[in-house]
Amino acid sequence: MIFVVIAAAAAAVQPSNADLQDMHCVASFSAMYSLAMKPEDKEKMLSSMLYFAGKIDGRSPGFDLAGHVGSLLQDPEYTESRLVEDLRRCSAEILAREADLKKVSPQLPDVEVPQVQRVQR
């Protein structure tokens, strides 16, 4: 009986396939972020991480992204054999979304935004 309860609890915390795929994207862009030298490259990596993290958060609020990504990036099997493949797949998705936004943006109305003072970090 205890085995059934433990198995059910373990099944409840297993990420979905979609969450796993997007988590791999966050991990691959996180690895590239740490290697990027130029601030604009770091911004691209961060934007990509936010895109995939947002997808996960929309599907699975409370998902332990930091824990899962941290474990993944500490796994030599992942970093040596899968990371580059994930980076290619995830970059293709980012480029597709960018192309979609470029198609839509000319159709959006111009909006006048009041002057806002930038917040210092």
Q: How far apart are CA 77 and CA 74, in angstroms?
A: 9
* Contact between residue 47 and residue 33 where contact means Cβ atoms under 8 Å apart: no
pLDDT for 8:
41
Whether the per-residue pLDDT at 118 is higher than 90: the answer is no
* Contact between residue 105 and residue 54 where contact means Cβ atoms under 8 Å apart: no
DSSP 8-class letter at 105: G
Q: What are the tens digits of pLDDT across the range 15-43?
A: 899 999 999 999 999 999 999 999 999 99
Give CA separation, 54 vs 5, 22, 26, 61, 81, in Å. Answer: 31, 9, 10, 10, 26
Q: What are the tens digits of pLDDT across the range 67-115?
A: 999 999 999 999 999 999 999 999 999 999 999 989 988 887 888 877 7
pLDDT for 6:
44
pLDDT for 112:
81
Whether the per-residue pLDDT at 5 is higher than 80: the answer is no
